[in-house]
Structure 1
Amino acid sequence: MEGLVLQNLTTGYGDRAVIKNLNLEVASNTTLILMGLSGSGKTTLLKTILGIIEPMGGSILLAGRNITFVATENRNIGYVPQNYGLFPHLAVGDNIAYGLRMRGMAWEEQRIIVRRMLEFVELVGYENKGVMELSGGQQQRVALARALAVKPDLFLLDEPLSNIDQATKYDVAHDMKRLFASLNIPIILVTHQYEDAQFFGARVAIMLDGVVEQIGSYNELILSAKTPFIKKLLTPFTQE
């Protein structure tokens, strides 16, 4: 299939396997919410897909090609880390253009794409501002723009809403949902917050101890959770 396919993927650190024989598919134009407690293997999986961690076994297929042992910079993956990963000494436009510059793109073409991305994330006029002058929500938009400027085959986000206040989170989450709907690539969003799964989750995968325990929509998982743990993970603590 087009999109992302993980086949019998085993990965971890040194000789310790955190994830064993994982099979998972994320089709193009699909958002998968990867949810679980800290230490469940979510970030390890993202790092393996990115090529930061080399798998012990299995394969990673993306857009019809095997990228299991392809260098990170050649995988064509957009990534937004939890802390956004912006360069504080660079202006907004230069942050967005970073991946384009690393690919050797001509300066004029970089500027065209940067302006297009600023329109896309509704930050027109911010190109020359320092990123440290921006609010948390605006920094998040810059990180999204930088990740998408390279036209990736896959978009990965690690806890993208965890570092912003509740009022800002409302606006950013709605902007992200609009943005996701316009992309025709697979998207994986890692979170431990049930609200994120409920809001974005056409498809939610629950991970526990390196194993995907159950996959379904948020409502499906609430109604037919395989274990009490899964239901508890997806239920507000104020609700009995």
Structure 2
Amino acid sequence: MPPTSTRQRRQEFPEPSSIVAFPWLGGATLLPPLTGQPSCLILPPGHSAMRSFTKAQRQAIERDLRRLVEGEVLFDEISRVLYASSACIYEIPPLGVVLPRHAKDVVAVMRYAHERDIPVIPRGAASGVAGQAIGWGLVLDFTKHMNRLLKVHPRENFVQVQPGLVLERLNEALRPYGKFFPPDPSSGRFCTLGGMIATNAAGIHSLKYGTTKDYVLGLDVVLANGERVWLADEGDPLFQRLTGTHPQVASLVEGLRHL
């Protein structure tokens, strides 16, 4: 069961686990320790802080990340071009791409990026039309490895999911139980649950069933400084920031959802 405290620190990271983070388009997120209120710095495209990196700097960052994570690290030009666009009209080539294999990879990337003031842009299906999945920093793609339905609790009426799980796959798994996840965006066949949390996805039946934030019970998150905490829906302002009501400032780790 998840911790009862809304901000309980996790000293151990049991597997399987899941993480996702959703900074704003091209934005750098800065978050102080949990002793104070969260804050974020939003940098629009073209801002002077959206610096370029030399070839030597990119190679050094790539080498560092390969030592830190077990997932794939992609810094080649083809990958950077592929991840420069999404369903929106913008194109912003990233510094590089990481495909995290587990929670520890995400913690390592967030901590590394925080120490060097490099933005992190977590990415799901990239189906958003406002540019949420692109940016000039490090892209974290959760769709390859962190895309599992961890547990189904039909009697208690909730599930535990990883952020890269596609909505349609979740509902297919729930059908034998006579359950479904109510928010139904038009991109439901391919959008990921992490992206749905970040944007508070809705759908044509939202007047009857509500939106995604109405079904999120708890989030296991990694903050921008690499700290991992549990958040629950108890009026916590940081929890509200992570469910699509504000620009995002952290990385989410395990989701509990009502059915």
TM > 0.5: no
Please state which structure has a larger fraction of its residues in helix. 1
- Please classify the TM superposition score into its range, dividing by the shorter chain length: under 0.3
Query: What is the TM-score when the length of structure 2 is the normalising length?
Result: 0.26
Query: What is the TM-score when the length of structure 1 is the normalising length?
Result: 0.27
Larger Rg: 1
